[in-house]
Every structure is written in C-alpha cells, then in structure tokens.
Amino acid sequence: MHVKEIFDLKGKTVIITGGSVGLGAQMAVAVAEAGANVVIAARKVDRCTDMCAKIEKDCGTRAIAVACDASKEEDCQKLIDVTMEEFGKIDVLVNNAGIAWVADSMNFPMDKWQKVLALNLNGTFQLSMMAGRVMKNQGYGKIVNTASIGALGGDLPENANSVAYTASKGAVVSMTKDLAVKWARYGITVNAIAPGWFPTSMNDKLLEQMAPQIMPRIPLARYGGENDLKGVIVFLASAASNYMTGQLVVVDGGQTSMV
C-alpha cells in the first residue's frame, strides 16, 4: 500500500466519546479530515450537534451526534445501536470521555472517587466490551483509549491533586494492555494515548496560572496545541498501526523523559 492509503480513513466509521469539546473535538476533526464518518457522543448533545455540523461543513464526511453518559450501561448500548443502524459497522472506538475531581488525597470524598472511576474506567471498559463484540463479528476493529501522563507517576499536590483521576488512568493503561492481548485473536487492536498538559475550555485559566510551575518540566517549553493529537489519533485509527497493539503513546512535549 502507498503511504497515503495506509493513513486514509475514507469510509471508516469512528465513534468518539467526549468528542464535542477539547481533546475529543481535536481528534474528531482529525479523523474526519482523514475521511472518516464520525459518531460524536457526550452528555451535552447540543455541543455534539454543533461539532457534527462543523465537521460536515469543513470535511465533507458524515457526522452524527448521540447523547451518551458513558458511565451508564443503557447509554453505551444506545450509542452502539445507533452507530450500527446508521453505518452498519464500527471500525474505530475512541474512549475519550472523562472527568476529574480535585481534592486533598487525605480527605478525598468517596462519592466523587466513585463518580470519576464510573466514567473514566467503568465506562471505558463497558463501551469497549460492547464495541468489541461488534468488532469480533466483523473480524477487525481498533480501540483507542485516552489515558494521561498522570497514569505514569505521582505528582506534588500543588501541581495535580486528583488522585481518583490518576488512579483511573493508570487502570486504563493496564486494561488497554490486557484487552490487547485477549482480543488480538479477533483482529482487534487496543492502544492508548497519554496526553500531557493541553489547555481546554475547562482548564485554560488554571494552566495559565500554573505555567511557572509546569513549563520548566516540559522540554519543548509549551503546552499541547490544537493540532498536536491529530497525527497520533489518525495513526492509531488507520492501517498505519496495524502491527501495533497494547501500546501507550505519550504526547507530552518530553515531560516524562526528564529525570
């Protein structure tokens, strides 16, 4: 295959949870620019609808919006069902929906702990399982999970004080590796992306304030930008990564390479 064909997603169907804003929106635009039809799912469906309109206008591919709280089993099943009704297949699932809760680790509220893990870990698993059954019947498929560099080690509470988030993302990394081994026989690859610090509408003001603490720890001396996940997600969603499974791709400006 020509290298342009290897990265081509024309005619593919990609589900992206949490795809209406932030990193999910960046990845949704990327796969659409590569030719994929996109199913964007999030709790606030109006945001999904707006993103779908933008994608169809700018990229010329189909995009549909589905209301989905990935922590709820019935919502996940509806997402799978709607995708199959509209497109008849699931080529790629991107588990990107996630939340964090900031609190002192000595007094972390357990209801918030459960809420974070219910979406970040449980939701990622149950949606992977549902999509995995479809992919098994197809004989192929790709699952990409959004982890975090927070999964790779601890940090000072002044820099990052959300132990439930880091614990959930660490579990996502381990789960990615285990499912990759278990599902390889079905033609399914499972990989993960670990982004570093990326400003979004939810954290941009905080990251601006924390820049003096964070920036010296990033060799490239900047936060992640609006195009910095595009190539990675297209690579993992396309035939370019066919011989790659169970891997974690770190996109952090070199932060985790420092000692």
Band of the pLDDT at 200, cuts 50, 70, 90? Answer: confident
- 120: which DSSP letter? I
| Residues with catalytic function | 165
Question: Which domains, ranges and CATH numbers included, belong to the chain?
Answer: 3-249 (3.40.50.720)
Of 240, 238, 189, the C-alpha closest to 36 is 238
- Residue 259 has a pLDDT of 80
Residue 254: pLDDT above 80?
Answer: yes
- 1: which DSSP letter? -
Count, in order, helices (H) and strands (E) of the chain: 9, 7
| Cβ atoms of 75 and 67 closer than 8 Å | yes
Band of the pLDDT at 233, cuts 50, 70, 90? Answer: very high
Predicted confidence (pLDDT) per residue in 28-82, tens digit: 999 999 999 999 999 999 999 999 999 999 999 999 999 999 999 999 999 999 9
Residue 201: pLDDT above 80?
Answer: no
Band of the pLDDT at 140, cuts 50, 70, 90? Answer: very high
